[in-house]
Amino acid sequence: MRLISLAALAAAALLAAAPASAELKKTITLGTEGAYAPWNLTDASGKIVGFEVDLAADLCARMKIECKFVAQDWDGMIPALTAGKFDGILAGMSITDEREKKIDFTTPYANSPNGLTVMKDGPLAKLPGTGDVINVTKDPEGAQKAIDAMKPLLKGKTVAVQSSTTNANFVDKYFKGVVETREYKTVEQHDLDLAAGRVDATFSNRPPADAKSMEARKDFAMAGTYFVGGLLGRGVGVGLRKEDKELKAAFDTAIKASISDGVVKTLSEKWFGFDITPK
């Protein structure tokens, strides 16, 4: 009896010492770029809208908390999170080993392939492999074969990437010495240069199939093989500080429910024109 009593007292003491952070805050702030359509973008009125804003509304309702968005430049996103400027990142951020050294991620809420986007009436529109998607992690040999097939037509071309992204890392590893890489602060900027003919292609997320979701991209087309996995990460998740375990658990539960209920699929088709639910 004495041993049981001591164990009970010890358990009670641990409960009493539990941090107050075990309860979620009633309001959290989420950082996003506001310049990565249709994941997140800023409309004519200055309001941040997009797939991730709609998704956040669903997730936060499930968690019974209020979520507010704040715009943050992409290259300062993780430092701003760790400095406490906001509580989480919803900005189309891929889950990678390198990023997980600094922050945690939730379970993925999306996974869209990445590759070359060109003008639909341009000379690169019929690159070999167009329409194919290869998982670099599961099929590295197939991925390398597809990349090698595209290289001759890409020789000497200029490819735009957003700086500090997995896409920039991918192009640097697989196309270095073949293409000239030009880095941009935002996707919007490199899209404008593609449309103006100042670059031959961008290496970025799959372009929306629905022109209504991003009018500026209506003349763009996928070209060559698209890729997932490897340097491109393990899907897109909410970035969180490592110490915010309760918030991560709440997001994980909400994301799984949103996927199960078909909300992620519905929002994907609304904003992208195709389903980016993680498989």
Say if CB 60 and CB 23 are below 8 A apart: no
- pLDDT value for 24: 86
pLDDT at residue 208, rounded to an integer: 81
Q: What is the pLDDT of residue 215?
A: 64
Sign of CA dihedral 120, 218, 196, 226: negative
Sheet holding 104-105, edge to edge: 66-71, 27-32, 88-89, 239-240, 104-105
**Residue-wise DSSP of 233-245:** -S-B--EE-TT-H
Q: Percentages helix, strand, coil for the chain, rounded to the nearest 5?
A: 40, 25, 40
Give the pLDDT confidence score for residue 13 in this predicted structure. Answer: 41
Among the CATH numbers 3.30.300.130, 3.40.190.10, 1.10.3720.10, 3.40.50.300, which is that of 114-232? 3.40.190.10
Superfamily of domain 26-111+235-271: Periplasmic binding protein-like II (3.40.190.10)
Domain boundaries, the chain: 26-111+235-271, 114-232
Averaged pLDDT, groups of 10, the chain, 279 residues long: 38 39 81 95 95 98 97 97 98 97 98 96 94 96 98 98 97 98 95 95 86 67 96 97 98 98 97 93
pTM, entire model: 0.85
